[in-house]
Amino acid sequence: MTTLPLEDYNIYVGDCWEAFNGFLADSHYSKVFVIVDENTEQLCLPKLKAHCPTLLEAQLIRVTAGEQHKNIESCQHIWSTMMAAKADRKALTVNLGGGVIGDMGGFCASTFKRGMDFVQVPTTLLSQVDASIGGKLGIDFADVKNSVGLFANPKAVFVLPNFLETLSARELRSGFAEIIKHALIADHRQWMSLLQEEDLQQIAWEQVIVHSLGIKQRVVEEDPFERGLRKALNFGHTIGHAVESQALHSDDPLLHGEAIAVGMVAELFLSHKVLGLPLEKVQQATDYLLTHYGRRRIDLSNPALLLSLMRNDKKNEGGKINFSLLPELGQVQVNQTCEEALILESLNFYQDSCHQPTNAR
Amino acid sequence: MTTLPLEDYNIYVGDCWEAFNGFLADSHYSKVFVIVDENTEQLCLPKLKAHCPTLLEAQLIRVTAGEQHKNIESCQHIWSTMMAAKADRKALTVNLGGGVIGDMGGFCASTFKRGMDFVQVPTTLLSQVDASIGGKLGIDFADVKNSVGLFANPKAVFVLPNFLETLSARELRSGFAEIIKHALIADHRQWMSLLQEEDLQQIAWEQVIVHSLGIKQRVVEEDPFERGLRKALNFGHTIGHAVESQALHSDDPLLHGEAIAVGMVAELFLSHKVLGLPLEKVQQATDYLLTHYGRRRIDLSNPALLLSLMRNDKKNEGGKINFSLLPELGQVQVNQTCEEALILESLNFYQDSCHQPTNAR
């Protein structure tokens, strides 16, 4: 087990049941809630109960799996359950699930009676590397991702790579996109190392997760409230979030990492155009992303909608669309704005790349 | 004008339009929203616009007046309006109204895209003396007052006693209850001075408000997140909130201060029983409260409901009902628990007192 000490709390990565039991024993909470969805109730909760006997008495709060349920109605269900159980502010919420449960459960805990403690037990790769640091909590509102929420830190995060065995290959790949992003914005050596990874099933996860969390930690601790530097983490997300939002209600929704992979390809192109990232580097990273994430066409029939979704991103100010772009692989510059025509060109670059033969990796 | 400097922001009390205009000119917000209800739109907004010309371009967000609209549906309306206006995190919300607008507008601003700035322009006496300090924001949920919310401070508070002219005598009295409470828990001299006030219409408000805010400031700054001492402010509120919640959906709802006046009488009785507050002091304060607030009978037909509402109060821990009681007028002790039978006795004391002739003041 590796312990990553942050300013306000610890992240435990690996076989960390003992740390979890120690935390529970030291804390004397008046009541414990465990938020699950149908997947984590079936696949992860039995392990949690087997390793943490005090949680046998915890009260379950069930929400429906899926990003489309990360909404105010689910919050009302969570708050109602807490209220019916007469929970006080000395209760604890354990969020056992992926990003939806972590973001929404943390938001509900932080706002119930103006704030009870919560811990994150992320069960997807995405939530293990992305949602464990940064204190971003919230829900989707009016079809805009994470548009209602707040910043608050958990009391602890327990990352159990064993839970990754419960994921489909597709979900695992989705989470891997954030690991790729962390390398691309901040660590060229890690990027070269990821290029060698052929098979996600064979990765030594504890080590890769700890490394990726370390990158995010450095960025977030310099800018906890996303005033500046932290926008570095937004690489791939301005376009990725818009593509994800557009696909949310389609027949074929994208997983977050899949959308971010699309966004990273388009924003690699923007990085070339705006900051002079060498074209062969764009091509190298694009080939890698397309190989891992498939050549999935995106719907470009309504570019005005996509641009409008980008304009609604939280990082924007004064109506301009804000990007974090790469002058080199492993480096990032925040607060880059692009003309709409260039943004559309970058989406076409993605679409065209899907038709090109991939260069040998 | 008096400026009360707090740790994070200033409260301006008096004729503070110039301070408001200075704040707006210095801040460069990308957009300004003004939240109003039908009363403040008619009675207060014209003055705001007349004195702050830059606010002529602000976007109004209208909510329906009344505690029963301090709910998640109203929040959805506020967030939707902000979203439709493509607001970013550099926008500002001006909450022009009483506690409902201040608490709910502050909550919505603090959670929109994880937080935009807001300023409070409280228009009722209650919100001027109570909601200006402490950072408590939120809404009612599942019939429990303020059960969803968070702590966040405004950028500034502008208290204009002139707005009190827009209030009915009943609303003015309601706000006065918090001024009485501040004196009873912390300032015997101020309590003696309030005993001399016969006519609320004749009070020199700027001075009384500044004094009352000073008491609250001292309590809150010692305990910003309500871990201990701040519970002092809860005097009258454990029972008062329950009485208020019960009456919320009745034909004859109580204003907040009216419910707190009931709660203070009952908790004066508890103070006598638990901490030995002399009975003649209980009688003195009870007479004063009944004279100001009328002899309004409360519904005691369902004591289990009232106790259940008290148990749901945020300050409770581990299922016990928590009180802040007075060993002397002008002093307070927090974390006092009472048996249910005694609590019911205190409610009967209130009810019986309504039948007694008032002693001369």
pLDDT band at B253; cut points 50, 70, 90: confident
pLDDT of A229 strictly over 90: no
Nearest CB partner across the interface for B141, out of A83, A115, A225: A83
pLDDT tens readout for residues A126-176: 999 988 898 999 999 997 889 999 999 999 999 999 999 999 999 999 999
Nearest CB partner across the interface for A314, out of B30, B89, B311: B89
pLDDT of residue B342: 96
Strands B117-122 and A333-337: unpaired
How far, in Å, CA of B328 to CA of B82, rounded? 49
Nearest CB partner across the interface for B150, out of A111, A138, A319: A111
pLDDT of residue B197: 84
CA distance A193 to chain B (A): 35
Asked which of A117-121, B30-34, B219-223 is least confident by mean pLDDT, the reply is B219-223
Q: What is the mean pLDDT of residues B172-200?
A: 93
| Closest listed residue to residue A320, CA positions, set B86, B33, B29, B111 | B86
Question: Which ipTM score applies to this complex?
Answer: 0.85
Report CB contact under 8 Å: A79, B144: no
How far, in Å, CA of B230 to CA of B249, rounded? 30
Report CB contact under 8 Å: B111, A149: yes
Strands A32-36 and A92-97: parallel
Nearest residue on chain A to B226, alpha-carbon basis: A114
Residues from A in contact with B at Cβ < 8 Å: 30, 72, 76, 79-80, 83-84, 86, 88-90, 110-115, 136-138, 141-142, 144, 146-151, 225-226, 311-312, 314, 316-319
Beta bridge partner(s), residue B333? B325
How far, in Å, CA of A23 to CA of A157, rounded? 11
Please provide the DSSP assignment of B127-148 as one string.
IIIIITSS-EEEEEETTEEEEE
How far, in Å, CA of A72 to CA of A109, rounded? 14
pLDDT band at A361; cut points 50, 70, 90: very low
Tell me B276's DSSP state.
-
pLDDT of A276 strictly over 80: yes
Q: Are A277 and A267 in contact (CB under 8 A)?
A: no
pLDDT tens readout for residues A335-345: 999 999 999 99
Q: Are B285 and B272 in contact (CB under 8 A)?
A: no
Contacts of A215 (CB under 8 A, 6+ apart): A182, A183, A185, A186, A187, A190
- Which tokens is B72 given? 């998640």
pLDDT of residue B162: 94
Three-state DSSP at A318 gives coil
Contacts of B116 in chain A (CB under 8 A): none
pLDDT of B316 strictly over 90: no
Nearest residue on chain A to B136, alpha-carbon basis: A114
pLDDT of residue B358: 57
User: What count of other Cβ atoms lies within 10 Å of the Cβ of residue A339?
Assistant: 11
Q: Are A271 and A282 in contact (CB under 8 A)?
A: yes
Give the 3-state secondary structure percentages of chain B, helix then strand then coil, rounded to 5. 55, 15, 30
pLDDT of A245 strictly over 50: yes
pLDDT tens readout for residues B150-167: 999 999 999 999 999 999
Question: Residues of chain A with pLDDT > 70: what percent?
Answer: 97
pLDDT of residue B102: 97
Q: What is the mean pLDDT of residues B180-193?
A: 95
Contacts of A139 (CB under 8 A, 6+ apart): A70, A71, A72, A74, A75, A103, A104, A107, A146, A148, A149
Residues from B in contact with A at Cβ < 8 Å: 30, 72, 76, 79-80, 83-84, 86, 88-90, 110-115, 136-138, 141-142, 144, 146-151, 225-226, 311-312, 314, 316-319
pLDDT tens readout for residues A9-35: 999 999 999 999 999 999 999 999 999
Contacts of B148 in chain A (CB under 8 A): 79, 111-113
- Which tokens is A180 given? 């790729």
pLDDT of residue A193: 94
Nearest CB partner across the interface for A89, out of B113, B115, B314: B314
pLDDT of residue A359: 53
